[in-house]
Amino acid sequence: MFIMSEDSQRTQGRDAQSSNIMAGKAVAESVRTTLGPRGMDKMLVDSGGEVVITNDGATILEEMDIEHPAAQMIVEVADSQEEEVGDGTTTAAVIAGNLLGEAEDLIEQDVHATTIVEGYHEAAEIALEAIAEQVQEAEVDDDVLKQVAESSMTGKGTGGLTAESLAETVVEAVRHVETDDGVARDNVTVHTQIGASSNATELVPGIVVDEDPAHDGMPDEVEDASIAILDVELDVRTGEVDAEYAIDSIDQLNAAIDAEESELRGYAETIAESGADVVFTTDDVADRVASALAKEGVLLFDDIGSSDAADIASATGARRVGDLDDLETADFGEADRVRSENFGDDDLAFVEGGAAAEAVTVFVRGGTEHVVDELERAIGDALDVAATALESGEVVPGAGATEIAIADKVRQEAAGIEGRKQLAVDAFADAIDVVPRTLAANTGRDPIDSLVDLRAAHESEGRAGLVTDGEEVTIADPFEHGVVDPADVKREAVESATEAATMIARIDDVIAAE
């Protein structure tokens, strides 16, 4: 009896488990060398020749176009980490891969997958307790936030701009959007522009959009701007159906031209008389309307995207108007300054200050497309972790110190667990050790010797991580050297990696339909 189609493929038992675990381990291994301040970059080239250079775990896994379903679960771990806390994607993926590796060894020793899953979940609970014990008691102030941001960006492609100076910009941006209800992270955007050193990166108290004035004669800058946002076409009206009109005399032609001129002049007069001195419209504007508005000193940007219009409206307090006859002063938004600036072949509009001060933009500069792309990713991660740390008020030591503490506590608690589940709990601790081992390997140290030294220092000092000053790597207290991470980054990495690894380990039957 045929239950499945003849083209279906089925893999069962140990073969299925081995195949899935091998795929998960391979994905984790692909990003392992990017971990830490001495991590290396990956160059990813797609079928069209598009090149991406990065050491961001989530970006690497996304660009790899992975098809294996079990391997895709590791990609989802990185995606979940990126979505929830913004950083730690490589850590989460590497832990998940090593949890699978340890599970494979246990399965070969005839430990049932269900026992492994139970042990891993119990170990994860112990790990969360260990993270809570590592939380720094001091207040998360600007100095700590700078350390969090700098730790996140160290080793990433920040061009000629140091992570330290860039961290100041990140903290300023996050503090700018702090509210009584938390941090309005969505009010911070990152805008990249090629054509200068990364040292030209700055914080703009407002928003930036890729638009240029509708007419060369318009002012480049307007201060104390009253801003109108229109969803109106400022051009001669046309019917929805094709029609032809017969003109029998010059008088009729002149009348048609006069009517057209009157219509366009009416648009310009209505806007000028409304009191708006800066106008953004999502539709087209006739040259004659733009010219007339230029003479009135009105700065107009036409054919802007709907999302840009929404952002400007939100930032300035303006209301979008769909009919020019409905335009009123109450619909206007306000900004301290609106200016247009040219950058090579690109023109940008800056809406700054005033009501727009609720939104800020990190204006990123870089000499090449690859530089600004990687810098954008680095700053995005730093903004996320700084916002996370500010909201939770909890930070833990980085540089592998928290992972050493987790592994130590899990091993201590494992001694009190009965049965084969104890093996899984011990294996969890071994898997967590991959983080300090990888950090050591990526800095050129011997992983085993470093792990032994870290454990000894943790036992005697209470905190020990691999701290680098750019040249030398030493074992020290990360807090004393400003190497800190948000506690939520560690929690999310442990939880998401455990969930993915246990899900994959439980699979013993793979049915693939062609």
Mean pLDDT across 212-239: 82
pLDDT at 345 over 80: no
Q: Catalytic residue at 89? A: yes
The catalytic position among 34, 54, 59, 90 is 90
Give the residue, 17 or 224, on which the prediction is more confident: 224
Q: Catalytic residue at 381? A: yes
**Among 193, 196, 146, residue whose Cα is nearest residue 173:** 146
- How many other C-beta atoms are found inside a 10 Å radius of the C-beta of residue 273? 10
pLDDT band for position 85 (50/70/90)? Answer: confident
Mean pLDDT across 393-397: 88
pLDDT band for position 2 (50/70/90)? Answer: very low
The catalytic position among 89, 154, 316, 402 is 89
pLDDT band for position 410 (50/70/90)? Answer: very high
Mean pLDDT across 87-114: 86
Mean pLDDT across 6-13: 55
Give dist(CA 87, CA 264) in Å, integer: 53
- How many other C-beta atoms are found inside a 10 Å radius of the C-beta of residue 235? 18
pLDDT cut 70: percent of the chain above it:
86
SS (H, E, C) 293-338: HHHCCCEEECCCCHHHHHHHHHHHCCCEECCHHHCCHHHCEEEEEE
pLDDT for position 17: 61
The catalytic position among 34, 54, 56, 373 is 56
Mean pLDDT across 327-342: 87
The string of pLDDT tens digits covering residues 425-450 is: 999 999 999 888 888 888 888 888 88
pLDDT band for position 513 (50/70/90)? Answer: low
Q: CA-CA distances (angstroms) from residue 33 to 27, 41, 110, 401, 425?
A: 12, 8, 32, 19, 26
pLDDT at 253 over 60: no
Q: Catalytic residue at 90? A: yes
Beta bridge partner(s), residue 474: 467
pLDDT at 485 over 80: yes
- CB burial readout 17-41, b (16+ within 10 A) else e: beebbbbbbebbebbbbbbbbbbeb
Q: Catalytic residue at 87? A: no
pLDDT for position 374: 81
Give dist(CA 143, CA 122) in Å, integer: 36
pLDDT for position 160: 43
pLDDT for position 239: 47
pLDDT at 131 over 70: yes
pLDDT at 347 over 60: yes
pLDDT band for position 1 (50/70/90)? Answer: very low
The string of pLDDT tens digits covering residues 276-303 is: 889 898 888 888 888 888 888 889 998 8
Give dist(CA 481, CA 108) in Å, integer: 43
The string of pLDDT tens digits covering residues 72-83 is: 788 888 888 888
Q: Which residues contact 25 (CB under 8 A, 6 or more apart)?
A: 97, 98, 100, 101, 104
Helix/strand/coil for 359: coil
pLDDT for position 126: 92
Q: Which residues contact 19 (CB under 8 A, 6 or more apart)?
A: 11, 70, 510
Specify the range with the lowest mean pLDDT, choosing from 68-72, 175-179, 443-447: 68-72
Mean pLDDT across 315-337: 85
pLDDT cut 90: percent of the chain above it:
7
**Strand order in 360-366's β-sheet?**
188-194, 360-366, 202-204
pLDDT for position 73: 80
pLDDT at 18 over 70: no
pLDDT at 398 over 80: yes
Phi, psi of 4 (to 5 degrees): -105, 165
Q: How do 221-230 and 320-321 pair as beta strands? A: parallel
pLDDT for position 249: 60
Summary mean pLDDT of the chain: 81
pLDDT at 259 over 60: no
Mean pLDDT across 158-183: 76
pLDDT for position 128: 92
The catalytic position among 41, 87, 308, 381 is 381
**Cα pseudo-dihedral 58, 61, 65, 71, rounded to 10:** -120
**Among 431, 278, 430, residue whose Cα is nearest residue 351:** 278
Most confident of 204-213, 244-253, 470-479: 204-213
pLDDT at 125 over 50: yes
pTM recorded for the entire structure: 0.78
Domains, in order of start, for the chain: 10-136+396-512 (1.10.560.10), 206-352 (3.50.7.10)
